[in-house]
Amino acid sequence: MRDAFKANVYYGREKETNDVFVNPTYTGVELSYDATEDLSVKGAYHIWGDNVAGSEDFKVAEFGIGYQLTSDFNLTGSYAIADIDVDDDSSYGVELKYKGAETATTGTWGAWVQYNDTAATYATTFNQDNGYKGFEVGFEYVPVTNSKWTTLYVDAESSYTGNTDEVKLFRTQLELFF
């Protein structure tokens, strides 16, 4: 029997301070529902509060849908909107994934291609403080049980008005799960 409905609730406080966040708290709620064996929907609401530089609490609502096209291919899409006063306060992403790496099974693997336009609702790990738009392709593999090797390439540009920075990122990492 599958779990048709899932809910997660998060709360925490950052210890680090940077130009954007000054020891903020984070509160989040995520809900997901498997409408059918092939179709799933999700919704989430995130709040970064307490001393977010230059503003009140930063809130983002997120909605997504996933569809299992075949036993090997999955298509997902998501949309998010923030309560900030900027020209572009929404984000979206689309991903097509083939298979997937299951950490419990050695030799499993997956690959994906995705397009993201994260606008100002998302600060990335690619040094794009106000979002990016572009493509990502990736590959994941399980060399031994409870590990996962992931390699990805990102070709994107800043989506912040006035910023023409480009992102060309190649990253490979090995994760161990205990």
> Tell me: the pLDDT tens digits for 66-124?
999 999 999 999 998 888 766 677 889 999 999 999 999 999 999 999 999 887 555 54
Residue 128 lies in a domain: yes
Share of the chain above pLDDT 70, in %: 78
Q: What is the pTM of this model?
A: 0.78
How far apart are alpha carbons 103 and 157 in whole angstroms?
A: 32
| Residues forming a β-bridge with 76 | 66, 95
Residue 9 lies in a domain: no
Residue 56 lies in a domain: no
Range of the domain at 141: 102-178
Q: How many domains does the chain have?
A: 1
Question: Is-contact 166 127, C-beta < 8 A?
Answer: no
Section 168-174 average pLDDT: 93
